[in-house]
Amino acid sequence: EEVFTDELARIQVRFHWQRGGSLPQGTTWLRVAMPSAGSGFGHQFMPRIGQEVLVT
């Protein structure tokens, strides 16, 4: 798989301090926010497995 999401289009992340084999059970599903989203318009690009994302 290139992209892995749940039914709400959320992604699962692994933080740098969570290195290891599989994703830990306590990992949270996160929504992906886009800077150009708005009322009636926008786009959504899903990160590929292995890509780095910024969590703020």
- For the chain, the structural domain boundaries read 1-56
DSSP string, 6-54: -TTS-EE---GGG-SSSPPTTPPEEPPP-TT-BTTB----PPPTT----
**Does residue 44 contact residue 31 with C-beta atoms inside 8 Å?**
no
pTM above 0.75, yes or no: no
pLDDT in tens, 35-49: 776 777 777 788 888
Provide the residue-wise pLDDT of the chain in tens; the chain has 56 residues.
788 889 998 988 888 777 766 666 667 889 887 777 677 777 778 888 888 888 88
**Does residue 42 contact residue 34 with C-beta atoms inside 8 Å?**
yes
pLDDT of the residue at 23 = 62
Query: What does the alpha-carbon distance between residue 40 and residue 54 come to, in Å, rounded to a whole number?
Result: 25
